[in-house]
Structure formats: C-alpha cells, structure tokens
C-alpha cells in the first residue's frame, strides 16, 4: 500500500513538473513576443537629438508637420496685390485731402517728431522738405507710410516691438515678447543668434494664432472686440497735428471735410493693420527694405543709407544722421521675404520670384534718377 502511495505521489509530481514546464514555455514565448514588439515600436520612433548641452530635447525642423485646420499661407500674388493696394490708398489719401502749402505758419519740432518717430531723417530736414512745394506731399506720404509699416512686423526692432503701438493684436505681441527658448528674448530676424528650429516653431505659432483669431481680426475686424483699435487711434493722433496743417480748407463745409479726411485716414491705417495681420499669418518671415540704392550709387556708405534704421541704446544718443538728398530718400520700401517656414534664411535670394514685392519710391524722382 505504501508502494501504491509512493507511485501515486510520483505520478502527481511528474504531472506538476510537466505542467510547470508547459507554463514556463508559454511565459518565455509571451515574453519574447513582448520584447520583439517593444523593439519594433522603438525602431519606428524618430531619433531624438540629445546633443543639447542643457539636456533638453531638440526638435528636428523637418519633423514639424502641418496641423489639420491651420489656414494656409496666401499666394505671393495676393501679398503683392495687397501691398500695392496699400500704397495706392496712401497716395490717394494725400492727393485728395492735402495741399503743398501749409495753412498755418510754422510747423513745430514736436509736431514733426510725433508724426515721424523712428524715421532716420532729422526733424529739421523733414521741415525743409515740407516747406518745398515739390516735396511736401511726398513727405506727408512718407510719414503715413512709416506710421503704418513701422508698426506692422512682429520681428523688427522699433515701434512695432511695443504692444502699446503695434498694428498687430497687442496680446499677440505681448505673448511673443515673453518667448525666450533659453537664449533671451527674440527681437529680430538674426539667424546667427537664433537657430532655425526656433524660427520653425515661431512659424507654426504664427499660423496657429492667426487661424484661431481669424474671426476676431479678419471676419469681424475693428469691432468692439478688436484690440488693435486703440493703437490705430494713437497713430492717427500722432499724425493728424502735422497732416491737418496741410489739409485743404473748404470754408463752406469745413467740419464735414475734416470729418471726411479723418475718416479716410482711419480707413488707410486700418487697411495697413489688415495687411500687417496678413503678413503675420504667413509661414514666412518678412522685412521692409528701406535702403537707398541711389545713395549707394552716389558713393555713400551702408550706414548712411538706411532710412528707418533704429539705433541701439548704446549708440542712439550719439548717432548723427548723414543728410541724404531728396532723390535718395526712400518713401515706399520693398517688402522682402527673408526666411521660410523652416527657419531657412533667404538672404541672397531676394531677387527670385515670390521673395520681393513692390518697387521702391523716392521722395523726389529727379529726371536724372527717374527709371533707375
């Protein structure tokens, strides 16, 4: 009986060992499959660049894919048409409402400086242009143009860098000014200081922001909810003390003509703000080229020809502008596309189609310079 019990116990142990062996085989098989699956998943993932000395993960620009629902960039032809239309609106406004002779004696320095803040033409030279009937209206056009374009770009030092004056939505400008990405504030289009990945990220942010705010700033532009309105009125108030000095006076309808003039000026400024938002919503980055090709042909150095160049805090107080001739001063710049959506600089490619918009206009087109 003991032998039978031992035999039974042996068969039971053998059965358990056989079952354990089968379970072990199944476990190893499942573990092998899980390991293979994890290896395949890791192999399918894009490589991670861990070369950043700070230990942060770098994003490869080419992997910043498009997001469904984001508004596409408008064609270059639309940019060219809107830019040309803005120039025509400024020119038309000046021709309709102003005369080349002041109706009041003596335009003060303060009035001129408020209307031309940031323009690298000294106030006394601007006054001399205003006093010259051949350049009065062109000088007024310059002041309006500068008031609009200097407030229109996100990545540009100057008036547009302030949320209290920009023609872009102030909350967008304020948010942008908080961006650092570990290398300090991003204040200008300088690929040497900011890498292409940063600009690629900014490109996506611009398009996303423009898409999400399209209803407020395009479909329902300049409603009570449009935060640009305050800055547009500030620009109008900066310009009007100078412009009103040269406004055409009609004795019988003085107030109505003034109302019409201010209404049209407001329309032009709003049109400029709309164009600024169009540029903001594009994947590319832009700048206005105020450099005078004529000054270069006349042998003047690069530092002497940049109308609108904003001096740094270190050199601003000591900067003495070189006086340019009226025929050398740009009053309408060329718009340049200087960086694409991946943060690639287009320097040297400005002459290619789709990268430059608008022909430069000068304060005085003398017969010797016309057509050059």
Name the more confident of 64 and 329: 329
pLDDT at 303 > cutoff 70 = no
DSSP 288: E
Q: With respect to residue 214, please indicate whether it lies within any of the assigned structural domains.
A: yes
13 pLDDT more than 90: no
Cα 254 to chain center, whole Å?
40
pLDDT of residue 103: 73
Closest alpha carbon to 157 in 308, 269, 304, 290: 308
DSSP state of 75: P
Residue 211 CA to residue 207 CA, distance in Å, equals 6
Instruction: Determine the average pLDDT of the residues in 199-209.
Output: 91
CA dihedral 259, 265, 266, 272 (to 10 degrees): 170
For 19, phi and psi rounded to 5 degrees?
-65, -40
pLDDT for 164 equals 79
Establish if 307 belongs to a structural domain. no
Name the residue with higher pLDDT: 3 or 156: 156
With a cut of 80, say whether residue 24 has pLDDT above it: no
Cβ–Cβ under 8 Å, residues 331 and 141: yes
Query: Which phi-psi region, left, alpha or beta, contains residue 348 (left: φ > 0; alpha: ψ -120 to 50)?
Result: left
> Is 208 inside a domain boundary?
yes
pLDDT of residue 178: 83
Q: Taking a C-beta distance cutoff of 8 angstroms, is the pair 103, 249 a contact?
A: yes
Among 143, 188, 146, 151, CA closest to 167: 151
CA distance 72 to 186: 25
Are 138 and 366 in contact, with CB atoms under 8 Å apart? no
How do residues 215-227 score in pLDDT, each as one tens digit?
999 999 999 889 9
pTM of the model: 0.75
Q: Give the pLDDT confidence score for residue 249 in this predicted structure.
A: 82
Is pLDDT larger for residue 173 or for residue 12?
Answer: 173
Provide the pLDDT for residue 198.
Answer: 83
Q: What tokens were used for 289? A: 């080229």
255 DSSP 8-state letter:
H
Q: Give residues with Cβ within 8 angstroms of 242, minimum separation 6.
A: 107, 111, 112, 114, 115, 140, 143
Task: Evaluate if residue 212 carries a pLDDT over 90.
Answer: yes
- Rounded Cα distance between 127 and 109, Å, is 8
Tell me: pLDDT of 73 over 70: yes
Percent of the chain's residues with pLDDT above 90: 45
pLDDT of residue 358: 93
Of 17-26, 176-185, 223-232, 304-313, which range is least confident? 304-313
| CB neighbour class for 145 (10 Å; exposed up to 12, middle 13-18, buried from 19) | buried
- The pLDDT of residue 250 is 72
What is the pLDDT of the chain when averaged over all its residues?
77
Using the predicted structure, report yes or no on whether residue 20 has a pLDDT greater than 90.
no
Query: Is it the case that residue 244 has pLDDT exceeding 50?
Result: yes
pLDDT exceeds 70 at position 298? yes
Residue 15 lies in a domain: no
Average pLDDT for 205-212: 94
CA distance 190 to 23: 65
Q: Which of 239-248, 276-285, 291-300 has the lowest mean pLDDT?
A: 291-300
Cα–Cα distances in angstroms (integers) from residue 247 to residues 139, 226, 264, in the given order: 14, 29, 13
pLDDT at 69: 73
Lowest mean pLDDT among 57-61, 109-113, 133-137, 321-325: 57-61
Q: Residue 114 region, left (φ>0) first, then alpha (ψ -120 to 50), else beta? A: alpha
Tokens standing for 239? 């310009």
Could you list the residue range(s) of the whole structural domain that residue 156 is in?
Answer: 69-286
**Is residue 336 classed as helix, strand or coil in its secondary structure?**
strand
- Count how many domains the chain has: 1
Dmax (CA) of the chain: 136
- Give the N- to C-terminal CA distance of the chain in Å, as an integer: 122
Structure tokens at 241: 């003390």
- Classify residue 46: in a domain, yes or no: no
Confidence of residue 260 (pLDDT cuts 50, 70, 90): very high
Does 62 map to a domain?
no
**How many angstroms separate the CA atoms of 256 and 249, rounded?**
11
What's the pLDDT score for residue 177? 82
| 215-221 contacts, C-beta under 8 A, 24 or more apart | 216/169, 217/169, 217/277, 218/274, 218/277, 221/270, 221/274
On whether residue 145 sits in a domain, the answer given is yes
Tokens coding 262: 């201010």
Q: Which two tokens stand for residue 58?
A: 């770098």
Could you tell me if residue 252 is inside a domain? yes
Give the mean model confidence (pLDDT) for residues 170-175.
91
Q: Which of 36-40, 172-176, 196-200, 297-301 has the lowest mean pLDDT?
A: 36-40
Q: What CA–CA distance (Å, rounded) separates 372 from 370?
A: 6
pLDDT level of residue 251 (50, 70, 90 thresholds)? low
Tell me which of 315 and 62 has the higher pLDDT: 62
pLDDT confidence tier of residue 191, bands split at 50, 70 and 90: low
**What is the rounded CA–CA span in Å between residue 287 and residue 356?**
10
pLDDT score at 160: 52
């Amino acid at each position: 009986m003991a032998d039978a019990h031992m035999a039974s116990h042996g068969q039971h142990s053998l059965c358990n060992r056989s079952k354990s062996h089968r379970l072990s085989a199944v476990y190893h098989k499942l573990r092998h499959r899980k390991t293979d699956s994890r290896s395949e998943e890791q192999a399918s993932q894009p490589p991670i660049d861990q070369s950043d000395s700070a230990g942060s993960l770098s994003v490869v620009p080419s992997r910043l894919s498009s997001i469904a629902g984001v508004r596409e960039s408008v064609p270059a032809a639309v940019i060219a048409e809107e830019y040309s239309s803005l120039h025509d609106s400024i020119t038309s406004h000046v021709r309709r409402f102003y005369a080349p002779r002041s109706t009041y004696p003596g335009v003060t320095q303060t009035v001129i400086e408020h209307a031309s803040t940031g323009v690298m033409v000294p106030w006394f030279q601007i006054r001399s242009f205003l006093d010259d009937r051949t350049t009065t209206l062109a000088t007024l056009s310059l002041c309006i143009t500068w008031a609009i374009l200097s407030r229109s770009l996100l990545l540009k030092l100057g008036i547009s860098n302030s949320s209290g004056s920009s023609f872009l939505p102030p909350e967008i400008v304020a948010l942008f000014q908080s961006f650092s990405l570990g290398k300090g504030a991003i204040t200008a289009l300088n690929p040497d200081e900011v890498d292409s990945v940063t600009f690629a990220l900014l490109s996506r942010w611009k398009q996303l922001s423009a898409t999400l705010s399209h209803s407020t700033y395009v479909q329902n532009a300049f409603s009570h909810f449009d935060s640009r309105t305050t800055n547009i009125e500030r620009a109008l108030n900066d310009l009007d003390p100078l412009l009103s000095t040269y406004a055409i006076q009609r004795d019988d309808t003085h107030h109505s003509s003034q109302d019409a003039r201010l209404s049209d000026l407001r329309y032009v400024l709003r049109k400029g703000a709309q164009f600024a938002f169009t540029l903001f919503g594009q994947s590319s980055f832009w700048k206005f080229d105020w450099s005078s090709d004529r000054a270069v042909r006349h042998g003047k150095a690069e530092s002497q020809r940049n109308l609108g160049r904003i001096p740094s805090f270190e050199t601003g107080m000591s900067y003495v502008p070189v006086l340019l001739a009226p025929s050398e001063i740009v009053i309408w710049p060329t718009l340049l596309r200087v960086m694409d959506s991946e943060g690639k600089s287009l320097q040297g490619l400005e002459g290619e189609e789709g990268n430059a918009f608008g022909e430069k206009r000068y304060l005085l087109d003398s017969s010797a310079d016309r057509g050059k």
